[in-house]
Structure 1
Amino acid sequence: MPVTWQDGATGLRQELGRALRRVATIAVAAGLPALLSAAVPTALVSEAAAQTARRPAQATPSAKPSAKPAERLLVEAQELIYDNDNNTVTARGNAELTYGPRTLQADRVRYDRKTSRVFAEGNVRLTDETGAVLTGERMELTDDFKNGFIDALRIQQTVEAKGQPVRVRFSAPRAERIEGDQTSFDYGTYTACEPCKTRPENPPLWQIRATKIVHDNVTHVVAFEESTLEIAGIPVAYLPYFEAADPTVKRKTGFLTPRFISSTALGQGVATPFFINLAPNYDLTLSPAFLSNQGVLGQGEFRHRLDTGFYNLRLSGIFQTTPSAFLPGPLGAGDRDFRGSVESKGQFYINENWRAGWDLVGVTDKWFLDNYRIRNQSIVTDYFREAVSTAYLIGQGDRSWFEARAYYFKSLSSFDWQKEQPIVAPVIDYDKRLNGPDPLGGEVRFESNVTSLTREATDFQGIPRTGTYLLSPSANGISYPLYDTCTIFARGACLIRGLAGTNTRLSAQASWRRTFIDDAGQVITPFAYLRTDAFFVDPRNSGYQNALVQNITTQDGDFSGRVMPAIGIDYRYPFVSNFGPLGVHTFEPIAQVIARPSETQIGRLPNEDAQSLVFDDTSLFEWDKFSGYDRVEGGVRTNLGAQYSVVTPAGWYANVLFGQSIQVAGVNSFRRGDIANVGLNSGLESRASDFVGRFQLSPNQNISLISRARFDNTDLSVNRFETGAIARLAPFAPVDLSLFYSFYEAQPALGFSHRREGLTASATYHITPNWFLSGSALVDLTHYLDVRDIYTDALKTYLANPIGTAPIYENPGRFYFSGMSLGAGYQDECTTVSVNYIVSPIATALGTRERNQTVLLRVELKTLGEADLRQNVGNATTADGIATVR
């Protein structure tokens, strides 16, 4: 039976007499001092200990529990010895002492009543209330384990860094534990790296070695005195003193990792971010950047999270000391002293169905963000450079969707004219689905859209002459005549991307569909829809280039409308056969017929949102193949095709589709181009369209290949071809790769007088589980974006004195690396190091294309921070808005 401590020695003798040949269980209540308060003869305890030396002893709660259960000490050991002469208690053999949330384990633990100290020796392990594990050869602690000294201390603690668990380690030959809240390490080390499994005595990949390390668990600060950063045991950096938040802290006031800056225009500099933790739900980051050529660039960001959402505000500004480092207007901001930007993003949930937000960018000039390397997620870089500001209200129900937005597009490139950029407010979409009424059944869908936009100047483009360069240089809205002259809109000579003035359209469509499956497996889906559109075009509030569109009937501000009813049927007859291990094979012929009147007012209405027309397998069976509301497909059309698919038990999947679209009656909407020539050169402009096809193969979940093509309907020549593969070859090969190839035949009616052909590829080779090589490339196989020196010199001469004929750029027919990157790196549980050589395009002030060459070094020491070092290499003659770049 259990043995419990009682008041006096008599009861103890009686209990022990009945337990000499049993497992002895000793309960210690109210801590070790209470244990010593019982006057028990040493000999008796020694006799009991002798009988139980090879039997486990476990401490259990007393019959008279303390008023504070958290302060009770539970002792478990193979042997428990009480020495009354020396006033000590010793637990030997897998001793484990638990005091509240703290647990002490050791080979031998001795408690000295006179000093109220606990001495633990041999494989000592102390786990505190935070989960941190302290190990050492010897520990001298107070009876509540909060204070004391530790020899050969090692602390291991699991924390979260960027959403991933990371184990951090402190070690020291001797340390002091103070009130359980602070640990002081003499000649200690700190690291987040795992020790080498085969040679744990080797130094970790990185560690901080310091004369003294003080870890405060209350303030969550780690202070390092006389510290040195070691890489593989080699000192690489020294700091006499610094403090850092411990790894459990996600937000704490202090300096962040500095960012180094180097460029010809800005000079040498460093940005020193300082984070201010104002409250658990809002903070402020100040990031002054000290630049040798331009002075101090001030940056600040305020972030605030509330119960229903969040918002932030970022401000940047500088009074330039050397404005002449930038090109003068209108090609740069060299005539400005002050430059800056304001950015803000927010989103709030009104209730479970509604949310509202914004994403705004404002700049003093279009070059500021790029010149000072300030990036925002809403900015599209490289080929398309613009900042998009938007505000929105979104509602979502079980079967409905509402979205209202407003847009402002800020051009960030020298060859874009801001007056041609539209202000769009509002764009409202509503989509609702309902069960069809009896006896129709099926599904009823209601869609509506309202769009209104305003621009100051018509965005137009002349159709290029044969053999001319793909892009026409322009500056501040003046397009230099590499194209045919386009002063008045004329089909075959001009493309209008957007009309000046205010254009408003209201669209609504109601549709119905229902699917029937007969006993033979035939799938028949009848459908019908009614589409209505109302346009109001008013160019009178614009003073720029209105004469360009004088022969478009709506230019006087006329109201126009159209109605498009349609009925149709979709027929599919899948044939399915199961070949066992060879999989399930399905062959499915598809036929679709849509009857509707001809489209009206083609080319007499604006087209803002339906300029992207791609005819391929994804749009073959669409009711309306236009991408937006400004155009609507008309006439009687049939879409024919078939697909074959295979699914095997081993996980193979393959699919092939082939088909064609045929205009049966009425006006072919794609044969008559609108003011942007949409429809022409699309493959749909003839009565019988081009053929479209798709091939898809996935041998397993790690490999996927897809190809799609459009073949000419007369000779089956390829007019459009796209193919790509994504593969993760492990465990067969340590390689991840992707490869995409695209080919588009010339579309002169749309402004592309030459074929376009390109290749994108990326790959990562894992040399070992930690070391890797990576690379990517964007290759222009038709070489149109490369401007040869002879052409560049001739163009500069022409722009300086635009008399005569502009130079003609002939295609040399060689491939060109528009962009690429090569890199290598190392990554493990505590460290990431990578170096990359990056080549990216630059949109220059002359409208030509050049490449920026950059070396980027990135180092991350988990739980300490990360740093990036970016350096431009090579030479570029002219960067956007900058006088010179090296």
Structure 2
Amino acid sequence: MSSARRSVSAKRGLLAGVALLVLSWTGAAQAQGKPMAQGAVSADGLKPGELYMEADLVIRDDKTKVTTAKGQVEVRYEGRTLRADELVYDEARGVMTAKGEVQVIAADGSVEYADQLVLDDAMKAGAARGFSARMPGDIKLAAASAIRRNENVNELNRAIYTPCDICAADGTTPKTPTWSIQAEKVVQDHAHQVVYYRNAVIRILGAPVLYLPVFWHPDPEAERKSGFLPPKFGASNRRGLSYEQPYLQVLSPSSDLTLSPQINTKVNPLLNAHYRKRFYSGALDARVGYTHDTDFDGKGNPFGQDTSRSYVLASGAFAINDKWRWGFTAERTSDDLLFDKYEVGDVYAARGPFIADDRRLISQVYATRQDQKSWFSAGAFTIQGLRPGDNDRTFPTVGPLIEGRWEPGTQILNGRLRLLGSAVALTRDQSTLNTALPGIDSRRVTGEADWRATFTSTAGLRISPYVNIRADAYSLGDLSGMSSTSKSLARGLAVAGADISFPLARRFKTSTVVLEPVAQLAISPKVKQVVVGYTAAKAPIFLNEDSIAFEFDETNLFRANKFPGYDLYEDGARFNVAGRASMFWDDGRRASLLVGRSFRDSDDDAFTTTSGLSRKASDWIVAADAQPMRGVSFFTRARLDADDLSIQRAEAGANVSVKRGSGYFRYLRNVADANGSKVENLDLGGELYLSKHWGVTAYGNRDLVQDAWVIRDLGVVYRDECTRIDVIYRREDTVIGRLGPTESIAVRLTLATLGGPMYAN
């Protein structure tokens, strides 16, 4: 309905006050701090400074200077929308009032509700009755009344706060939130990005569980804020009852410090600290821990003298310019079993380009340069071993380690040419074979040229010829079992050959099948390996610093030189061959199988007898993977003996991810590893939800050679939209050094907005 008294002049008196009200409460400071760009257009089609208003009736009283809009009032301004039954602007008093089912909708989707909302024209103070809000992150606030003290402080009386659902799935039936905080008074301080509570009661499923006279947590709108993070509870027969309470201290917009004291009933506390800082060119990340205590066994029984025990896990990575980068890692501990005793997590992570084995720490410094044609890196590192029997003096100090490659911008003989170079120096204190002798020192310089081209016929036959030429120079010292303690040598290496494949494809009604025979021919002159000593049986011991962990499988079947490092080299004539079959269904299912082996003109004693490559005909290589349905995939690879097809090494795994949960398993069997020991291990885990909120989790690692579990975890989990609780029982049966089997229970509690993703920013 329109009124004859509605006019443009009547609207004009209302517009200034309406703009203030639309920008009220929690969105005011944000809207002022982030004005629309000049010429920009908001989602509602309005330019900066433009205001749109609708109402059934607008009345202007020129005598009292009061303008009133009534009936389905809607105002849009600066990306925000105000809706109310009635708007009144008292120009003389500078007061704006919205009445009747008031809503203020922000551009981010957050909504504020009130029965009545009043604001002064300076936008510094105001009040609301029957106030509630739905904020980003699905956070809900409700209060009997709300007072806006100024642009930074809002005060709520008789309030409740929760990020949990308050309505059932049908959207109409009320629901008791999983957890909530009720308080006599709540103060939201935008300037300090903190929410304070007075006389707060924390409720779980509506029942009061904790009363706090004073309580606070970071403002949900804050990107980062100092405060307590979720605690960690646990109990074990090593440390007794354990409580760890992390506290995040924001030091600056680019740095923070997390202190996590771990309090134990059987042993002394361990203080953990985690410092992070971002620079304009990179970032620094450092974790340290310290305690002063005696040693203790797997039952928590102390022995020995009190002493300081500590660890450091630090890394940094920085950009010098658009091509150069440098960085470092520092990983050390005073006690080989410190991480196991105090259950320090995320220890053996990759923090730099050089990576150590599991249960070993690496400290390194490095620099790299990369552009479109070249790559260069230089670094140095040392290793600390934490495995039983590790002797750090037998580990080499590596430095410098230099690698580089360069490619011309144009093709050479219709192929790609790559020039490579590397150099490394290794120094050992003790011999790995006899600790009474000094360790072997070695220095190597290598230059290499690699050319490869690819030609494809019209029938689909693909031929890739290649040539690789390499020169090595070695300087060796502290040799044992040789006629002299040092020597220098040089050698030239070369390989030439071609990769050949001929894929054949056949289309069926709902699938495609690809059969692909693959072959590789490689020819190299005989190479004299670098000998550093002899066994008691007068067999030569070859220098091998960089190919110790070599495994023959489908990933290196078609490598011209199967050794991953430089010290050992594959020579002679060899022919690598395989057949690959793949099937792809239109609905996303797939499967593939590869079978292959390698043939050579003579035996090669550079390969160990357990590698599967030392004889003229290698072991068989089999690899398969498949995804038979959505969310389910598996893989397997195996090496079969060339004579009787017995399994020499096998690895298999599967991943499952369905609506009710997810899981995986990994199986590894190796008849003889690099040390000649048999390995057979099973690793599996997953979680299954028995209902919408309740589930079970499990993890297990079993040593099948010892016929014993290494670790067993069994847990119960509850989760909903705002809470996750994990209760996990763990038993470790392995004996690590002086630590025997142990049992523990851990409780992990995560509450949305009180230790959720916001703390990871």
Question: Shorter-chain TM-score category?
Answer: 0.7 to 0.9
Distance 1:640 1:99 in 2: 71
Which residue in the other structure is 2:328 paired with?
Answer: 358
Which residue in the other structure is 1:521 paired with?
Answer: 460
Using a 3 Å threshold, how does the CA distance of structure 1 residues 182 and 629 change in structure 2: closer, same or farther?
A: same
2:395 and 2:428 in contact (8 A); partners too: yes
Which residue in the other structure is 1:81 paired with?
Answer: 59
| Cα deviation code 1:203-254 (max 9, x no counterpart) | 2111101111111223222110011111111111221102222012233344
Q: What pairs up with 1:198-597 in 2 under 5 angstroms? A: 198=170, 200-259=173-232, 270-288=243-261, 297-320=270-293, 323=294, 325=296, 334-375=304-345, 377-378=347-348, 384-434=358-408, 438=412, 440-460=413-433, 500-539=439-478, 550-552=480-482, 556-579=485-508, 581-597=509-525
1:33 and 1:113 in contact (8 A); partners too: no
Distance 1:654 1:100 in 2: 55
1:533 and 1:563 in contact (8 A); partners too: yes
Kindly provide the amino acid, as one letter, of the partner of residue 711 in structure 2. Answer: G
Using a 3 Å threshold, how does the CA distance of structure 1 residues 707 and 290 change in structure 2: closer, same or farther?
A: closer
State yes or no: 1:656 paired with 2:593: yes
Kindly provide the amino acid, as one letter, of the partner of residue 193 in structure 1. Answer: C
Q: CA RMSD in A?
A: 3.6
Using a 3 Å threshold, how does the CA distance of structure 1 residues 253 and 503 change in structure 2: closer, same or farther?
A: same
Using a 3 Å threshold, how does the CA distance of structure 1 residues 372 and 180 change in structure 2: closer, same or farther?
A: same
2:530 and 2:543 in contact (8 A); partners too: no
Which residue in the other structure is 1:639 paired with?
Answer: 576
Q: What SS does the corresponding residue of 1:625 show, helix, strand or coil?
A: coil
Distance 1:168 1:287 in 2: 28
Distance 2:195 2:17 in 1: 37
Q: What pairs up with 1:640-789 in 2 under 5 angstroms? A: 640-665=577-602, 668-669=603-604, 672-673=605-606, 678-699=607-628, 702-730=631-659, 734-746=660-672, 750-752=674-676, 754=678, 756-782=679-705, 784=706
Using a 3 Å threshold, how does the CA distance of structure 1 residues 304 and 382 change in structure 2: closer, same or farther?
A: closer
Distance 1:436 1:144 in 2: 69
Kindly provide the amino acid, as one letter, of the partner of residue 390 in structure 1. Answer: Q
| Cα deviation code 1:176-196 (max 9, x no counterpart) | 222343221111111112322
Moved more, 303-312 or 629-638: 303-312
Distance 1:570 1:156 in 2: 63
| Cα deviation code 1:12-45 (max 9, x no counterpart) | xxxxxxx97898555544657899xxxxxxxxxx
Q: What SS does the corresponding residue of 2:618 show, helix, strand or coil?
A: strand
Deviation (angstroms), 1:141: 3.3
1:612 and 1:627 in contact (8 A); partners too: no
Q: What SS does the corresponding residue of 1:398 show, helix, strand or coil?
A: coil
State yes or no: 1:825 paired with 2:755: no
Q: Unpaired segments of 5 or more residues in structure 2?
A: 19-46, 533-541
Which residue in the other structure is 2:163 paired with?
Answer: 192
Deviation (angstroms), 1:359: 1.2
Distance 1:245 1:763 in 2: 33
Which residue in the other structure is 2:748 paired with?
Answer: 858
| Cα deviation code 1:232-285 (max 9, x no counterpart) | 111112211022220122333445455557666766665554444332223344
Q: What pairs up with 1:791-870 in 2 under 5 angstroms? A: 815-840=707-732, 842-845=734-737, 850-865=740-755
1:709 and 1:722 in contact (8 A); partners too: yes
Using a 3 Å threshold, how does the CA distance of structure 1 residues 119 and 569 change in structure 2: closer, same or farther?
A: closer
Kindly provide the amino acid, as one letter, of the partner of residue 142 in structure 1. Answer: D
Q: Unpaired segments of 5 or more residues in structure 1?
A: 1-18, 36-68, 159-165, 462-476, 478-486, 489-498, 540-548, 785-814, 868-886
Deviation (angstroms), 1:147: 2.7
Deviation (angstroms), 1:595: 1.2
Using a 3 Å threshold, how does the CA distance of structure 1 residues 28 and 70 change in structure 2: closer, same or farther?
A: farther
Which residue in the other structure is 2:538 paired with?
Answer: none
Question: Larger relative contact order (C-alpha < 8 A, sep ≥ 6)?
Answer: 1
Kindly provide the amino acid, as one letter, of the partner of residue 726 in structure 1. Answer: N
2:237 and 2:743 in contact (8 A); partners too: no
Which residue in the other structure is 2:26 paired with?
Answer: none
Kindly provide the amino acid, as one letter, of the partner of residue 80 in structure 1. Answer: V
1:613 and 1:679 in contact (8 A); partners too: no
Distance 2:579 2:565 in 1: 27
Distance 1:132 1:142 in 2: 23
- More strand, by proportion: 2
1:28 and 1:73 in contact (8 A); partners too: no
Pick one of 617, 624, 627 that aligns with 2:561: 624
2:201 and 2:209 in contact (8 A); partners too: yes
Q: What SS does the corresponding residue of 2:608 show, helix, strand or coil?
A: strand
Deviation (angstroms), 1:139: 2.6
Deviation (angstroms), 1:658: 1.5
1:359 and 1:378 in contact (8 A); partners too: no
Pick one of 104, 122, 138 that aligns with 1:167: 138
Distance 1:121 1:20 in 2: 21
Distance 2:303 2:345 in 1: 18
Deviation (angstroms), 1:630: 1.5
Distance 2:544 2:196 in 1: 64
State yes or no: 1:122 paired with 2:100: yes
How many residue pairs end up in the alignment? 711
Q: What SS does the corresponding residue of 1:366 show, helix, strand or coil?
A: coil
Q: What SS does the corresponding residue of 2:427 show, helix, strand or coil?
A: strand
| Cα deviation code 1:511-551 (max 9, x no counterpart) | 11111222332222221111222222212xxxxxxxxx732
Q: What SS does the corresponding residue of 2:393 show, helix, strand or coil?
A: helix
Distance 2:737 2:724 in 1: 38
1:644 and 1:656 in contact (8 A); partners too: yes
Using a 3 Å threshold, how does the CA distance of structure 1 residues 687 and 34 change in structure 2: closer, same or farther?
A: closer
| Cα deviation code 1:92-118 (max 9, x no counterpart) | 211134677875421123344565433
Q: What SS does the corresponding residue of 1:419 show, helix, strand or coil?
A: helix
State yes or no: 1:110 paired with 2:110: no
Deviation (angstroms), 1:566: 1.6
Deviation (angstroms), 1:691: 1.6
Distance 2:562 2:498 in 1: 16
1:818 and 1:851 in contact (8 A); partners too: no
Distance 1:751 1:569 in 2: 34
1:32 and 1:143 in contact (8 A); partners too: no
Distance 1:828 1:148 in 2: 36
Which residue in the other structure is 1:879 paired with?
Answer: none
Q: Which has the larger radius of gyration?
A: 1
1:147 and 1:179 in contact (8 A); partners too: yes
1:245 and 1:252 in contact (8 A); partners too: yes
| Cα deviation code 1:742-764 (max 9, x no counterpart) | 332346xx54354x333222232
2:444 and 2:473 in contact (8 A); partners too: yes
1:103 and 1:127 in contact (8 A); partners too: yes
1:379 and 1:385 in contact (8 A); partners too: no
> Percent sequence identity over matched residues?
28
Deviation (angstroms), 1:84: 6.2
Q: What SS does the corresponding residue of 1:865 show, helix, strand or coil?
A: coil
2:235 and 2:744 in contact (8 A); partners too: no
Using a 3 Å threshold, how does the CA distance of structure 1 residues 141 and 266 change in structure 2: closer, same or farther?
A: same
- TM-score normalised by the chain length of structure 1: 0.73
Deviation (angstroms), 1:357: 0.7
1:591 and 1:641 in contact (8 A); partners too: yes
